[in-house]
Structure 1
Amino acid sequence: MKKNLFFHRLHEIAEAVNEPFEIIQDKVLQLYKEKKKGERVLIKEYGIERPRWRSEDEELFPESYECLERLSKKYKIGVIANQNPGTASRLEKHGVLRFIDLVIASAEEGLEKPDRRIFELALSRAHCKPENAVMIGDRVDNDIIPAKKLGMKTVRVKQGMWKYWEVLSESEQADYEVDDLSAVLELFEEEM
């Protein structure tokens, strides 16, 4: 849910350091391939102020609505997110909150992924044991590793900049990997 937001931030960085957007984009992409938070590394290297988070630029992946609608008919859905305040209202604005049973956002909880306590909080509020939960996420570091440590099943969605993370150990390997949310639907219909 961050494509436009991400590119907006890269444009702001390029403008702040007086570099062409393409150069900044290439640098960030290379950093993500090295398992680094690309734009954060550049902001620190250039010594510039971090561009503000623009919630108005957030966009859902195209298949999000259908995926959530169909899965919510069979499963309880929760969101664990490192987000600014107002995550639930933004999900409502996008028309998907009605498919979600629980929203745990870092700004409201004072915890953020990969801290295991945010996962434990979500499981507690959902009255769910880890072995009965599936973490679906795009980030190996923030989603897959901590969920696996707790005993949750994991699905890595290889979308966005984090698709470049190369898995190097068993702790980083999700139980399932898919390329988009449509494949998540197929996975749940076939495997789960």
Structure 2
Amino acid sequence: MVEVRFYDTVNDELLKFAVIISQSNGKWVFCKHKERDTYEVPGGHREDGEDILETAKRELYEETGAITFDITPICIYSVTAPDNFDGMETFGKLFFSDIYTFEKELHSEIEKIAIMDELPINWTYPEIQPKLLEEARKRGFLPKKEEIKWLFFDVGSTLVDESKVYEDRMKRIADLSGLTYEQINKYAMSFYKENKKGDLEVARQLGVKLPKWESQYERLYTDTKDCLKKLSRIYKIGVIANQSLGTSERLENLGVRKYIDLIIASAEEGVSKPDRRIFEIALERSCCKPENAVMIGDRIDNDIVPAKQLGMKTIWVKQGLGSLWNITDESEKADIEVNNLSDILNFL
């Protein structure tokens, strides 16, 4: 386990590193090492006989090519990790820099700098550097803003691909009704495009019992695990879903439970989406204000509309049958629309 602590002062000889949180024209400045596909805050080791401020200026120049800049000390930080320095607490100094001009070429192991509007998802040191930025914000070096703290996901057709389950259900409706699968599927799709639940409507109109939901056909979308892994490094992750009993166990079996901090499922709570009470339960248990939370789901009626009414931010993942929904009112418009989970990483 990596532990990060913060101090106002320590003995100067203890300072081994300088890390410089950097911005230029109000945008973040990060570095990409030649041997890594991740991003990091500029910084590095202190050389013998070097003042720690000089270390910060040198590292900033070497890693970003900064020529003209302001630089200000923030605080002391320390890192204790079992696989570094024999588990001993090591110290560095944290700085903030506003960069005005850059050299055209870099003269270090850094391959390139990235100037970003938002913080990266793929950090080189995900257990350390986001905490440094949060401390800088607390100390007033970064602007205060309405931060996103919790991401709440639906399960079906959001984290989990249900296409094979629906295919099985349509085939069994076809068997019960005497029609072909192709006829049933076309019939159901027409209802989905009218913002109705197509499988339910088809079964009702044909007078057959809606077949049992066969959850054994559920599979994760190919990008679900990677997306949750990356997002869980920065945000708390929750689930708000209409699910039968055992949601936690199913997500465990699918290999993603470890990334999820809170599960609010209809079967356990006795209330289902779109009832706003299930969202209120999630916000209460997470101790999160609506404005600090995002609801991510495939259903406009179940996910987007009630979450917006509570003041949550919303992302419509246009996967599965929910993607056929036709927007008819301003209340149905999500803050962000994406075609898959991976696209979320461009916004959060």
TM range, smaller chain: over 0.9
CA drift of 1:89 comes to 0.3
What is the number of residues matched between the two proteins? Answer: 188
TM-score, structure 1 normalization: 0.96
CA drift of 1:146 comes to 0.0
TM-score, structure 2 normalization: 0.53
Aligned counterpart for 1:41 among listed residues 189, 201, 221: 201
CA drift of 1:86 comes to 0.6
Unaligned 5+ runs, structure 1: none
Q: Does the alignment pair 1:168 with 2:328?
A: yes
Aligned counterpart for 1:131 among listed residues 291, 297, 305: 291
Aligned counterpart for 1:144 among listed residues 297, 304, 315: 304
CA drift of 1:63 comes to 0.8
Unaligned 5+ runs, structure 2: 1-159
Q: Does the alignment pair 1:64 with 2:244?
A: no
* Residues 1-192 of structure 1: pairs in structure 2 closer than 5 A: 1=160, 2-188=162-348
Q: Hey, what's the Cα distance between the residues in 1 that align with 2:201 and 2:241?
A: 21
Q: Hey, what's the Cα distance between the residues in 1 that align with 2:179 and 2:287?
A: 50
Deviations 1:156-179 (A, max 9, x none): 000111111111111000000000
CA drift of 1:62 comes to 1.2
Higher helix share: 1
Q: Secondary structure at the match of 1:77?
A: strand
CA drift of 1:48 comes to 1.2
CA drift of 1:118 comes to 0.2
Matched to 1:164, the amino acid is L
Q: Secondary structure at the match of 1:186?
A: coil
Q: Secondary structure at the match of 1:85?
A: coil
Q: Hey, what's the Cα distance between the residues in 2 that align with 1:67 and 1:113?
A: 24
Q: RMSD over aligned Cα, in angstroms?
A: 0.7
Q: Hey, what's the Cα distance between the residues in 2 that align with 1:179 and 1:55?
A: 23
Matched to 1:50, the amino acid is L
State the identity as a percent. Answer: 52
Structure with max Cα Rg: 2
Show structure 1 runs of 4+ deviating over 2 A: none
Q: Hey, what's the Cα distance between the residues in 1 that align with 2:255 and 2:321?
A: 25
CA drift of 1:129 comes to 0.6
Higher strand share: 2
Structure showing greater relative contact order (alpha-carbon pairs closer than 8 Å, 6 or more residues apart): 1
Q: Secondary structure at the match of 1:16?
A: helix
Deviations 1:18-70 (A, max 9, x none): 11111111111111001000000011111211211112111111111111111
